[in-house]
Homo-oligomer: A and B are copies of this chain.
Amino acid sequence: MTETFHVSGFTGSCCSRLCFHQSAVCKVASQAERGFKPAKVAVVTKTTRYEFEQQRYRYAGLSEEDLKQLLALKGSSYNGLLERHNIHTINVGQIVDSLQKEGIEVRIVKRGEYDEDTVRWADAIISAGGDGTMLLVASKVYDKNKPVLGVNTDPERSEGHLCLPVHYTHAFSEALQKLRKGEFRWQWRQRIRMNLEGTGINPTPVDLHELQLSLEQHNKAHRITTDTQSSMTHNSPERPHLLPVRGLNEIFIGESLSSRLKYKSFKPHLTLSLHRASYYEISIDDGPWEKQKSSGLSICTGTGSKAWSYNINKLVEQAVEDVLRIGKLKTGLDVPLNREFIASVTETYNESLIFSPEEDKLFFSIREPIVNRVFSNSRQRGFAKKVCVRSRCWDACMVVDGGTSFEFNDGAIATITLNEEDLLRTVILD
Residues of A within 8 A of B (CB): 47, 52, 55-57, 59-60, 62, 66, 69-70, 73-76, 111-112, 132, 156-159, 198-200, 206, 208-209, 211-215, 218, 227-229, 231-232, 237, 252, 254, 256-258, 261, 263-276, 294-296, 308, 311-312, 315-316, 318-320, 322-324, 326-327, 330-331, 333-336, 341, 344-345, 348-349, 352, 368-370, 372-374, 377, 379-381, 390, 394, 397, 399, 402-403, 405, 410-411
Task: Compute how far the CA of A152 lies from the CA of B334 in the bound complex, rounded to whole angstroms.
Answer: 47
Task: Compute how far the CA of A348 lies from the CA of B294 in the bound complex, rounded to whole angstroms.
Answer: 22
Contacts of A62 in B (CB 8 A): 228-229
- Are the CB atoms of B372 and A345 closer together than 8 Å? no
- Are the CB atoms of B316 and A380 closer together than 8 Å? yes
In the complex, the chain B residue whose C-beta lies closest to that of A135 is B271
- Are the CB atoms of A402 and B59 closer together than 8 Å? no
- Are the CB atoms of B374 and A157 closer together than 8 Å? yes
Task: Compute how far the CA of A52 lies from the CA of B266 in the bound complex, rounded to whole angstroms.
Answer: 8
Copies of this chain in the oligomer: 2
In the complex, what's the smallest C-beta–C-beta distance from A271 to chain B, in angstroms? 5
For the A-B complex with A66-B232, A206-B272, A322-B349 known, give 15 more contacts whose Cβ atoms are closer than 8 Å. Answer: A52-B269, A55-B266, A55-B267, A74-B200, A211-B268, A213-B272, A215-B264, A254-B274, A256-B257, A257-B257, A274-B397, A318-B381, A326-B348, A333-B334, A335-B335
In the complex, the chain B residue whose C-beta lies closest to that of A397 is B274
- Are the CB atoms of A311 and B75 closer together than 8 Å? no
In the complex, what's the smallest C-beta–C-beta distance from A275 to chain B, in angstroms? 5
In the complex, the chain B residue whose C-beta lies closest to that of A411 is B74
Contacts of A228 in B (CB 8 A): 57, 60, 62, 66, 70
- Are the CB atoms of B324 and A327 closer together than 8 Å? yes
- Are the CB atoms of A209 and B377 closer together than 8 Å? no
Task: Compute how far the CA of A272 lies from the CA of B258 in the bound complex, rounded to whole angstroms.
Answer: 8
Task: Compute how far the CA of A374 lies from the CA of B212 in the bound complex, rounded to whole angstroms.
Answer: 31
- Are the CB atoms of A315 and B311 closer together than 8 Å? no
Given contacts A257-B257, A323-B315, A390-B75, whether A59 and B266 have CB atoms under 8 Å apart is yes
Contacts of A348 in B (CB 8 A): 326, 330
Judged by DSSP, the binding face of A is: loop
Task: Compute how far the CA of A323 lies from the CA of B337 in the bound complex, rounded to whole angstroms.
Answer: 13
- Are the CB atoms of A232 and B70 closer together than 8 Å? yes
Task: Compute how far the CA of A257 lies from the CA of B374 in the bound complex, rounded to whole angstroms.
Answer: 30
Contacts of A158 in B (CB 8 A): 374
In the complex, the chain B residue whose C-beta lies closest to that of A216 is B264
In the complex, the chain B residue whose C-beta lies closest to that of A272 is B208
Given contacts A324-B323, A345-B326, whether A268 and B214 have CB atoms under 8 Å apart is yes
In the complex, what's the smallest C-beta–C-beta distance from A424 to chain B, in angstroms? 19
Task: Compute how far the CA of A333 lies from the CA of B337 in the bound complex, rounded to whole angstroms.
Answer: 13
Contacts of A275 in B (CB 8 A): 252, 308, 402
- Are the CB atoms of A59 and B330 closer together than 8 Å? no
Given contacts A267-B56, A269-B112, A330-B341, whether A274 and B252 have CB atoms under 8 Å apart is yes
Contacts of A215 in B (CB 8 A): 261, 264
In the complex, what's the smallest C-beta–C-beta distance from A161 to chain B, in angstroms? 9
In the complex, the chain B residue whose C-beta lies closest to that of A266 is B56
Contacts of A334 in B (CB 8 A): 333
Task: Compute how far the CA of A333 lies from the CA of B258 in the bound complex, rounded to whole angstroms.
Answer: 50
In the complex, what's the smallest C-beta–C-beta distance from A159 to chain B, in angstroms? 5
The 6 closest A-B pairs by CB, nearest first: A74-B411, A273-B402, A208-B272, A311-B368, A257-B257, A316-B380
- Are the CB atoms of A372 and B159 closer together than 8 Å? yes
In the complex, the chain B residue whose C-beta lies closest to that of A312 is B368
- Are the CB atoms of B368 and A345 closer together than 8 Å? no
- Are the CB atoms of B322 and A352 closer together than 8 Å? yes
Task: Compute how far the CA of A214 lies from the CA of B237 in the bound complex, rounded to whole angstroms.
Answer: 33
Task: Compute how far the CA of A215 lies from the CA of B156 in the bound complex, rounded to whole angstroms.
Answer: 39
